[in-house]
Amino acid sequence: MHTHLFVDGLDVITRSDSRMAGLAPGLLLRPGGPLHPTDTARTVDVAAEEGHDPGPDRLTLRIRLRGETVVWSDLMYPGADDMVVEEVRFRLDQYLGEIERARTASAGPP
């Protein structure tokens, strides 16, 4: 199972590099995991190239919390208007709610 990260209806991973597959939801979405924001900015691996030897290429983004806003930066994917998207922002409450919803959905029925 792979994670798909959508921003404004666009799959960030596929649009950034179609060779990549999102890392496992259990890894990215776990409580306190890589996609959970902190006051200190950090670089997070969100995808890897499958079947690549000797080691997979990685797709990363920079994530940080600025007040009540989660900021993803160091992006380079074409948006809906084909302009390059370098940064996206999310309201913290909505962001955390979506991570929890996706984590629960990926875990399947109890």
Q: Answer whether residue 1 is part of any domain.
A: no
Q: In which domain, by residue range, is 86 found?
A: 6-105
Q: Which two tokens stand for residue 86?
A: 């370098």
The predicted model scores a pTM of 0.85
Query: For residue 99, what are the CA distances in angstroms to 1, 5, 18, 28, 48?
Result: 16, 10, 23, 9, 20
Taking Cα atoms as reference points, which of 38, 84, 27 lies closest to residue 62?
38
Name the domain count of the chain: 1
Q: Answer whether residue 110 is part of any domain.
A: no
Q: Answer whether residue 14 is part of any domain.
A: yes
In tens, the pLDDT along 27-51 reads: 999 999 999 999 999 999 999 987 7
Q: Answer whether residue 34 is part of any domain.
A: yes
At residue 16, does pLDDT exceed 80? yes
Using alpha carbons only, how large is the chain's radius of gyration in Å? 14
